[in-house]
Structure 1
């Protein structure tokens, strides 16, 4: 930009340059990344990486929000801090939680991060056992034939699981012909195991006979849980397989 004065009888003409710097507009920061959580006693410590872009203004604070996947009504706890990590308190022991993080600068609050890994807070010394269940069987079974589903429950520890109930749904169009040590309640066959040590596995089998009329793909779901010991990763306590009937 140039300012020019042509002059008059008293003053000579002149010109000068004026520099003007235009700053980019400030926006809210991006989402934090790499969010991880470690559970404690009714609390969790959440770590994260600062957003790649701060929107043109330094991040002044971060906010962590908890989501309770066991009972949504017990979630929603928040905590703020100026940097990673941030501790979140007031959680319910035995419930499964994930966490998201937002960043704030002078322009506002940016989008939430992707959720953290799931963690389960527990009291000091409380036993825990990480159960996982799988179910395997054939992809198809013809009219009048029989097929067997194999249910495997594994305990990754660190403690012994007790009072383990494992249930498998019985779809329509098949009849249960064999379920060793299993009991039937309505459309569910279940097995009861008093305990399962860390790193141990128990296997159950169930044999079906296909009726002569159904022709569809049946879904067979199975789930397991320990009634007295917390499970830090409950998502793998459920499994599903399908079999084409007819």
Structure 2
């Protein structure tokens, strides 16, 4: 009896720890998953350790009494392939075996605990079939198809080994030139700077790439630049045939221009004004540009080397992006990166005529001269046609002069200023300035302004009649 009680207590304590949440997710699902190793040869089973949280056991107490049992059975999959020999070690550890013959590829890991909850780790395990032969794919590019005479050109060769294939040892990458006269090339080096050799090969694992670079220089002429690759299958020891397609480079020749860089895209009324940097012409002057708008608007060609263009005929309120490509005698070069999206907007309508007045005094005695200024301003944004600037309320004998004389049109931001002077009469004077034009006014409330100069009494000195 003491032994049974002790065992029951241990099981209860284990289950309580599993259910307490101290090593599992709050929803009692497996989480924080990892699998070691995270890949392997699919030609044979691979033993793994799965770590995480929420590997919960399930306790069962028989009805009517009896010994409590603890169900620790868990299940696990990579993709659609169920793992075997899944053994529960603790609430944070499982042992499991990836079966043989899983096709090459990368799979998600799914773990189901004893209470039926699941957790997932994306792209957790990569199966590799090392019985698949290595296969290299080569891509060769040049830094410029038409460099200046004597300018080094960088050649870049990317070698990609087939996913799931055996590793490849590259023992030589040898640059080649047709013709060979008048051109020289450096040795090809891997990305880390090492030159491959039989004694120190560059290994490319299945599903990975390696990049080799070298430079070639010539005074002038056209060449087909390529390379030969010497490589072997690491497991089979067989040579791997690699086809490298050559690239034509013409030193001192003429090529299409490089891509411009868009520097501005300013919206207007049904149009966008673009600006860009002039690209390298690559041997021939730039004669024009092709400007292309999205949304099916199409392309426009400018017969000018100017680096700005107003693309009209657009729809206000709709966002557009643009690209620009340069043209020379060799043809049209690559397009620029797209501009930021820009939305044409309608221009504000009308002008904004406003009036202002300022006098030298708020009050003056009879006969004192009062001076002042009246101003009529067009606040825009459009031109004011047939502008007016009237001053009323001046007493008899007042003088008034305006500069400039009222023009037929008043530009946005322009103003007419009038100077006035009068002798203070025996009553208050209110001067009113009114501005206007034949153009629709956006804010008519500021068309008028007034100033009142009050009459102040004259105080005589004592004894003065």
TM over 0.5: no
- Into which bin does the TM-score normalised by the smaller protein fall? 0.3 to 0.5
* Higher RCO (Cα < 8 Å, 6 or more apart): 1
Relative to the length of structure 2, the TM-score reads 0.22
Relative to the length of structure 1, the TM-score reads 0.40
